Amino acid sequence: MADLIIRDLVKTYDKTEVLHGISLDVKDGEFVVFVGPSGCGKSTTLRLIAGLEDTTSGEIEIGGRVVNNLEPKDRDIAMVFQNYAIYPHMTVRKNIGFGLRSSNKSKAEKEKRIEEVAALLDMTPLLNRKPSQLSGGQRQRVAIGRAMVRDPAVFLFDEPLSNLDAQLRTQMRLEIKKLHQRVGSTIVFVTHDQVEAMTMADRIVIMKDGHIQQVGTPQEVYHKPANTFVARFIGAPSMNMLAGQVKDGAVVLAGGNAVPVPVAVPDGKKVLVGVRPEDLHPEGETSLLEGTVSLAEPLGHETLLYVETPSGEVISKADGRTPPGVGARVALHALKENLHLFDAETEQAIT
């Protein structure tokens, strides 16, 4: 177990720069999740940490040791791949023990370690099976076992759950999190699924186009998004963005409604007011927006309303039992503290 420090990491393929100087400190025992749309550089970052790709510039430090010029096997890391990468021609026991081949432990010690890991993952009865006799979730556990068996300083997970069906994914998510609590190792986890990121991470790193957009706890990135990208990316359905202009210390929206601004913003500045669907309700006294319900999606405990307003279509969450029907005129209400203000030009948060 160890810290992982990344400094000004740059990666170029031929002449295209895909990572533009990334810096990050991962503390010992921390569970860090990289999340972002495809092509944002999150997997590349992971592969650079693993040593599967060469860094163009910048430093990677694991446990106080710069590892840039070390082979993957000498970096004291283990990696779990998206398609598990467990060998179909070997039994589960051999697959798990594969990572121990190069260690200088005695045979009995190795066996003991394999048994330990198998017990930890509830795989003991399956040790002599071949991967083709296992379910998807079991295969994924074998892959995790293979990574665990060497007790590495840092675990790297490259979208390990994307090949599983929805139910299994939720279950494995929980298992990995529990495993982390028990073993307490440093984990870097890459995913494109923001729910996975929110539920598992100690800290989330949100990336886009080779830049880190924000690093923070799930609460921070949800409640205090640094820019409109983070605001839209985290949370489902994503945050409504209402265009407006500052006038006399308040934002005037397209419909003419004014929203008081908590901070000093010069008059005439174009801004975006962000409000999450779950903070925008079709009941209450003072209204932020008025509009007509164009579509309703009942989810049981709540209903998603798609409302046509002067600021465009916005999504609002209504009660699951008595939601306004399609075509109804609604006044949407949000608490002042749940509004987010962004600069319309730079798309950065105004605080």
Partner 1 sequence: MAVVEEIRPSSDALLKTRQPKRPANMGNYIRWLLLFFGGIAMVTPLAYMISTSLKWPHEVYNLQLIPNEPTIENYTYVLEDGRFYWWFLNSLIIATITTVCNVIFDSLVGYTLCKFRFPGRYIIFIAILSTLMIPTEMLVIPWYLMSQQFGWLDTYWGIMFPGLMTAFGTFLMKQFFETVPDDFIEAARIDGLNELQIWWTVAMPLVKPALAALAIFVFLGNWTAFIWPLIVTNSVDMYTLPVGLSSFGDEADVQWELIMTGAAISTLPTLVVFLIFQRFIIRGVVMAGLKG
Q: Which is nearer to partner 1, 52 or 174 (CB)?
A: 52
Residue type, 238: S
- 16, 38, 69, 132: which one binds partner 1 (CB under 8 A): 132
Q: State which residue, 139 or 203, has the beta carbon closest to partner 1.
A: 139
Residues 6+ apart with CB under 8 A from 76: 2, 62, 63, 152, 153, 154
d(CA 290, CA 277): 15
Among the listed residues 276, 242, 215, the one whose alpha carbon sits nearest the alpha carbon of residue 36:
215
Quote the least distance from Cβ 153 to partner 1, whole Å: 13
Pick 123 or 289: Cβ nearer partner 1: 123
Task: Work out the number of other CB atoms within 10 angstroms of the CB of residue 119.
Answer: 10
Note the Cα 337 to chain centre separation in Å.
Answer: 25
Q: Residue 67, Cα to own-chain centre: how many angstroms?
A: 26
| Residues that contact partner 1, how many (by CB under 8 A) | 27
The answer to whether the Cα torsion of 100, 120, 31, 274 is positive or negative is positive
Question: Can residue 139 be called a binding residue for partner 1 (CB under 8 A)?
Answer: yes
Should residue 16 be labelled a site residue for partner 1 when binding is judged by CB under 8 A? no
In this complex, which beta carbon is closest to partner 1, that of residue 73 or of residue 247? 73
The reply on whether position 72 binds partner 1 by CB under 8 A is yes
Stretch that binds partner 1, among 9-17, 65-73, 232-240, 241-249 (CB under 8 A): 65-73
Residue 162 touches partner 1, criterion: CB under 8 A? no
Query: Would you give the DSSP letter of residue 285?
Result: S
Largest CA distance in the chain: 77
Q: Which of 3, 1, 9, 147 is nearest to 61 (CA)?
A: 3
Among 14, 15, 16, 89, binds partner 1 (CB under 8 A): 89
- Least Å distance, CB 324 to partner 1, is 46
User: Minimal distance in Å, beta carbon 136 to partner 1?
Assistant: 8
* Contact status: 85 vs partner 1 (CB under 8 A): yes
Q: Contact positions toward partner 1, by CB under 8 A?
A: 50-52, 71-73, 77-79, 81-89, 98-99, 101-102, 131-132, 136, 139, 146
